[in-house]
Amino acid sequence: MKEKRFWLRTVILAIMLAAIGYTIYSNVFVEKKAIQVGDSAPDFVLTDLNGNKIQLSDYRGKGVFLNFWGTWCKPCEKEMPYINNQYNLYKNEGVEVIAVNVGEAKVAVQTFVNRFQLSFPVVIDQQDQVMNAYHIGPLPTTFLIDKDGKIVDMITGTMTEEDVRKYMETIKP
């Protein structure tokens, strides 16, 4: 019985050491290329609050204002009405907004959207796949994507309404 327990513990320890070793290797030695201006925007599919699938590549031919945000983020809260106002002005000129929430509960996101009466698609990145693909750090972070799917600019931090207008103007097709 003791010998059986010894081998079981040895196998478990070996598996744990292998997992730790792989984690260290993948975090230290595997190069992760950050997204840069001029790169193609990584495609993704997320579901909006109405259950519709939103795929970035479906927006080819339009400028996309891709905003990463959280309901708890005060700068995000401040800029959302500005984004909504400018979206309503630019949506007929070929500019779309996709607001990617950073994995919060649907009820919290829906409450936020209702409070600010947001009229653009809001999606929730539950598994942080899109956040990881775009290497998102601090919030809010916005990517400006041109009609060809290329990243034109990246903005970290809050924007004024004039900033939002200027950025939407630059991605207008």
Q: What is the pLDDT of residues 128-144, one digit of tens each?
A: 999 999 999 899 999 99
Residues of the chain with CATH 3.40.30.10: 45-170
Residue 171 corresponds to which tokens in the numbers above? 């991605």
For residue 126, count other CB atoms closer than 10 A to its CB: 15
Q: Which of 70, 71, 54 is nearest to 62 (CA)?
A: 54
More confident residue, 5 or 68: 68
- What's the confidence (pLDDT) of residue 13? 86
All residues at 6 or more sequence positions from 102 whose CB lies less than 8 Å from its CB, including other chains: 68, 69, 70, 125, 128, 131, 136, 139
- Predicted TM-score of the model (pTM): 0.81
Topology of domain 45-170 in CATH is Glutaredoxin (3.40.30)
pLDDT digits (tens, 9 = 90+) for 91-105: 999 999 999 999 999
Rg (CA), the chain: 21
Q: Are 113 and 49 in contact (CB under 8 A)?
A: yes
How would residue 20 be classed by pLDDT, with cut points 50, 70 and 90? confident
